[in-house]
Chain A
Amino acid sequence: MRFVLLLACIVMLSGCEREERQLRLDPPVADALNKIRLMPIGIAGAPPEIYFALHRPYEANAYNLNQGKRLYAWFGCSSCHADGQGGTGPSFLDGWWLYGPEMVSIFASIRDGRPHGMPAFRDKMTADQIWQLAGYVQTIGAYSARTAAPSRNDDKQTRPAENRAPAAILFDQGPSPVHADQGPTP
């Protein structure tokens, strides 16, 4: 009986936040979410306090990840990154993150752009959307599957779905420990 209760508690804790659909952010919250603190080199840093106060809603919330997937298509990410395999832009599936796998770095890459062709989406998306997209991009390159991650699209399939951790399946270190194809140097 006690075991069942314990199990129920665990399910509840994970269930609520995983499935909740936060449709509207109050403008001050949205503003605060924009205020990340990045390391001077542009890699890693800290998300704003509010990000933790909201319980990191962009990494494990199924609805936000799903919205991120929609934005990935709507904002033409695939024109450079394809389905994650990369093209003119770097791949998300080869196991290499040019600026590290942290949410803040991905957020900064999308918002502010990066050298060698990554445009800034500051004026094209809201902070909420950028976070959603960042969370989704992180799942493409994830090594371990997340149950909240979206599954395949109703489309031609070019790689395993996000909830199956495509990077773990496709990651190929190659013959030498130094990856031959890391994309353009920052």
Chain B
Amino acid sequence: MTMESVVPPETSDAEIEGPRLEAVLADTWATAPGFWGALSTVDHKIIGRRYILTAFVFLALGGILAMLMRLQLAAPEARLIGADRYNQIFTMHGANMMFLFAVPVMEAMAVYLVPLMVGTRNIAFPRLNAFSYWIYLAGGLMLWIAFALDMGPDVGWFAYVPLSGPQYGAGKRADIWAQMITFTEVSALAVSVEIVVTVFKQRAPGMTLDRIPLFVWSMLITSFLVIMAMPAIMIASSTLILDRLVGTHFYNPAEGGDVLLWQHLFWFFGHPEVYIIFLPAVGMVSTLTATFARRPVFGYLALVMALIATGILAFGLWVHHMFVTGLPRLGESFFTASSMAIAIPAGVQIFCWIATLWDGKPQFKTPLLFVIGFIVTFVIGGLTGVMVASVPFDTQVHDTYFVVAHFHYVLIGGAVFPLLGGIYYWFPKITGRMMSERLGIWTFWLIFIGFNLTFFPMHILGLEGMPRRIYTYQPDLPWHGLNLFVSTSAAILASGFLLFFIDALRSARVGEPSGPNPWHAPTLEWATASPPPSYNFARIPVVNGRYSLWEQPNELAVADGLRVDRRELVVTSLAAADPEARESSPRNSIWPFWAAIATTVTLIWSIFSPWAVVWGPIPVAVALIGWFWPKRVPEDEA
């Protein structure tokens, strides 16, 4: 604490100026140095950065698994990987990519960006945010350590009973999967609640609902999807553990249970899950398109409505994963119609982006390349999605490589491409340094070409009858040529990702300094330094349009009146974003970390013994008491 940063209590930011204001704020919002400081921080930017980094580590690990699978499938009856290990590998690949990479990385981007984009100083419930990261990390570690111990789940990322049930799933492998769900869902639910509250109550004054940046809109809808979809899978995974551990009969037909109940619960979550991954990407695309077309994105209202429509329809499609289970035909036709209907909001979005590019003046930087790559591949993925939505069509391609191709087009083309574009775009904001444009172009083309060469042939393999999840195939089947081709192409794709990682690691150290707004972008996160200071904004910005930095290019209007000697932020009204109150924001605390450790012990223990549910909550309760212990200072009473 320097002399400069000492101020009398209840000093307002109206009373001090310039460097002194910044020094005082930096002191108030600082993260303590050292190991314990790092564990106790509640700064959304530090936690967001950790989240992003961890998610990309899991992406790399999942990618290695994918390459192992492609090596095994390159030749018929290869003996590189045995059946048992292969089943673990494809299960790990799916579970890791969905639960440890795709959802968390989108949440992570939101944790970092949403508070900046809405012009506030920290995310709502910052300690919960810290807790969610530790829980996520613990779940990921548990899954990967189990895999290293030959204890990795081998029942598919969907873990259908009875294969994952007590009779056919020997050992604790399926329990590891089910408990990993609990970890990641707790963390995703926590982040979603934070984002909803941040967006609803902490927007900068003047940021009415129709001025919210589209990425923030998409994260808001995504958060609601998480809040409504995740409970289904938590119920499913918990009942599975109960069936396996204490012999309940949720999925035992002989005692009145039903194996199809599992599929309903799983896909009631599983389909919205796709949109939980896809909608944030859509928000990124809208953001990037506007910036690089140098034009406000066309059809703001249409895009927001499309997001909401997608979010609602997402809950009416789950049965299209179950078209061959023998459900009543008429009911299935309803789900065909609803699955097809989701093409309408998707179409609206695509057309609006093309219109934006049409009317704007596109600057072909790496992020925009990824957006274009996204449109090209996502339209294919969307159209094959329309195909599998048709019941009769689906009976031929369900559970074949056609579906593998389809969802990789949707998830990589539809979500990872925009994410990579987003990383190239926000990298300067996060690190203060630019990524290499030259390497970026190489990365894009390697990934784009590698991706299409890898996954397009899989459509054909599927129509030729190759089922999913097989660890090998016999030489007399006509699949090996294409499989070898696919495996070779996968190497191109992998090299693209490798280049991306190299570029990111290199640029973080020696990249060209970027300045606050290298892309001349319009949204609020670019109104502060890169990387942003711990307090985000020295004074809270005031918004009077959707594209603040384009509309007020010279100087942003700001509000003052917040105290600087303690953590304070502005709470605004839900629709009009009128300032309502000054709210204190929690200080750093180590207790979220201990709470996460206690929760982790309880959850892992409960795989092995039901007594964990009795004794485990005691340390959790102790940690929570520490977390909420009143400090007799006003901010904790606020």
Contact = CB atoms under 8 A, between A and B. Distances in A.
- Chain A bound to chain B: yes
Given A19-B151, A161-B166, A156 B254 contact: yes
22 contacts: A8-B145, A15-B149, A19-B151, A19-B172, A62-B170, A62-B171, A62-B172, A147-B172, A150-B167, A150-B170, A151-B166, A151-B167, A151-B247, A152-B166, A152-B243, A152-B252, A154-B165, A154-B251, A154-B254, A157-B247, A161-B166, A161-B246
A51 to B, nearest CB: 21
Nearest to B162: A154
Contacts of B167: 69, 150-155
Nearest to A18: B171
Interface residues of A, number: 30
Nearest to A66: B170
Contacts of B165: 154
B608 interface: yes
A97 B254 CA distance: 31
A172 interface: no
B84 interface: yes
B264 interface: no
A160 interface: yes
Contacts of B244: 151
Interface in A99-150: 147-148, 150
B146 interface: yes
Mostly, the B contact residues are loop
A139 to B, nearest CB: 13
Considering residues B167, B172, B173, B246, which has the most beta carbons from chain A within 10 angstroms of its beta carbon?
B167
Interface of B: 84, 145-146, 149-151, 162, 165-167, 170-173, 243-247, 249, 251-255, 608-609
Given A23-B84, A151-B166, A157 B146 contact: no
B150 to A, nearest CB: 5
Contact of B247 (A15, A16, A156, A160): A160
Interface in A1-55: 8, 11-12, 15-16, 18-21, 23
Nearest to B170: A66
Contacts of B150: 15-16, 19-21
A157 B249 contact: yes
Contacts of A150: 166-167, 170
B149 A155 contact: no
A11 B247 CA distance: 24
A65 interface: yes
A153 B167 CA distance: 5
Nearest to A159: B247
A15 B146 CA distance: 8
A49 to B, nearest CB: 25
Contacts of A15: 146, 149-151
Contact of A11 (B145, B162, B243): B145
Given A8-B145, A20-B150, A155-B254, A163 B171 contact: no
A11 B151 CA distance: 11
A152 B244 CA distance: 7
B255 A18 contact: no
Contacts of A156: 254-255
Nearest to B245: A151
B166 A19 contact: no
A153 B166 contact: yes
A66 B249 contact: no
Given A151-B243, A153-B166, A164-B247, A19 B171 contact: yes
Contact of B255 (A69, A157, A161): A157
Nearest to B253: A154
B149 to A, nearest CB: 4
Contacts of A58: none
Given A19-B172, A152-B249, A157-B247, 9 more contacts: A15-B150, A18-B171, A19-B150, A21-B150, A23-B84, A67-B170, A148-B171, A150-B167, A151-B243
A-B pairs with lowest CB-CB distance, top 4: A62-B171, A151-B166, A66-B170, A15-B149
A19 B173 contact: yes
A11 B251 CA distance: 29
B238 to A, nearest CB: 15
Contacts of B171: 18-19, 62-63, 66, 148
A147 B252 contact: no
Considering residues A8, A19, A161, which has the most beta carbons from chain B within 10 angstroms of its beta carbon?
A19
A148 B167 CA distance: 13
Contacts of A151: 166-167, 243-245, 247
A67 B254 CA distance: 21
Nearest to B173: A19
A147 B608 contact: yes
Given A21-B84, A151-B166, A151-B247, A12 B149 contact: yes
